[in-house]
Amino acid sequence: MTSFTERVRRLPYLGIGVSTEYGAHHSPNALDISALKERYPEFSGFLEVGVEVDKGLDADTLEWVRRGGRTTYHFLDINLDDPDDFTSEWIQRVLAIAEQIQPAWLCGDAGLWHFGRRERGHMLLLPPVLSKESAKEMADGILRLREMTGYEIFPENPPGHLFVGDLHLLDFFAYVMEFADTGMLLDAAHLAIYQRSMGYDPQTGLDGFPMERIVEVHVAGASHFEVDGLAMVEDDHTVNVLPETWTLLSTLAHCASELRAVVFECERNPLPVCVPGFERIRQCISGTTFARQVKL
Residue 1's pLDDT is what?
Answer: 74
How does pLDDT run across 196-253, given as a tens digit for each residue?
989 999 999 999 999 999 999 999 998 877 776 777 777 778 899 999 999 999 999 9
Q: What CATH topology corresponds to 4-293?
A: TIM Barrel (3.20.20)
Residue 122's pLDDT is what?
Answer: 66
3-class state of residue 242 by DSSP: coil
3-class state of residue 146 by DSSP: helix
pLDDT band at 113 (very low <50, low <70, confident <90, very high): confident
Assess contact for 247 and 209: CB atoms under 8 A: no
How does pLDDT run across 22-74, given as a tens digit for each residue?
998 888 889 999 999 999 999 999 999 999 999 999 999 999 999 999 999 99
pLDDT band at 172 (very low <50, low <70, confident <90, very high): very high
Q: Could you tell me whether strands 230-235 and 222-227 are parallel, antiparallel, or unpaired per DSSP bridges?
A: antiparallel
The set of long-range contacts for 220-229, using a CB threshold of 8 Å and a minimum separation of 24, is 220/187, 220/189, 220/245, 220/264, 220/265, 220/266, 221/189, 221/266, 221/277, 222/189, 222/192, 222/193
Give the start-to-end residue ranges of the domains of the chain: 4-293
Residue 10's pLDDT is what?
Answer: 97
Tell whether the model's pLDDT for residue 119 goes beyond 70.
no
Q: Where are the beta strands (DSSP E) in 115-196?
A: 153-156, 184-187
Residue 112's pLDDT is what?
Answer: 85
pLDDT band at 121 (very low <50, low <70, confident <90, very high): low
Residue 244's pLDDT is what?
Answer: 96
Assess contact for 118 and 28: CB atoms under 8 A: no
Angstrom distance (rounded) from CA 24 to CA 60: 9
Angstrom distance (rounded) from CA 249 to CA 262: 9
